[in-house]
Amino acid sequence: MENTNRNVFGLHGVTGLLIATGLLLAILATLTYYAIKLQQEVAQKPYALNASELKMKSTDNAKQVRVKE
């Protein structure tokens, strides 16, 4: 049986590889952009913590965090 249907530039060859690589790079760029924007937004809102009111092992410690706005 002879394989005469080889197509290097077909969808399963180099073209498919380039499409998949481009798609992955686009997803990476999009997620990086949104991560940077989110980090910049959160950096503008620092929080205050009153350390004297914290207890050793308590779920009430989450109530001590206050966001400064």
Q: How far apart are CA 17 and CA 47, in angstroms?
A: 46
Confidence band for 69, pLDDT divided at 50, 70 and 90: low
Total-model pTM:
0.59
Q: How far apart are CA 48 and CA 7, in angstroms?
A: 63
Q: Are 13 and 6 in contact (CB under 8 A)?
A: no
- What is the percentage of the chain residues whose pLDDT exceeds 90? 33
Beta bridge partners of 66: 48
Confidence at residue 46, expressed as pLDDT on a 0 to 100 scale:
76
What average pLDDT does range 39-57 have in this prediction?
A: 76
Q: Are 65 and 47 in contact (CB under 8 A)?
A: yes
Per-range mean pLDDT, top range of 1-5, 13-17, 39-43: 39-43
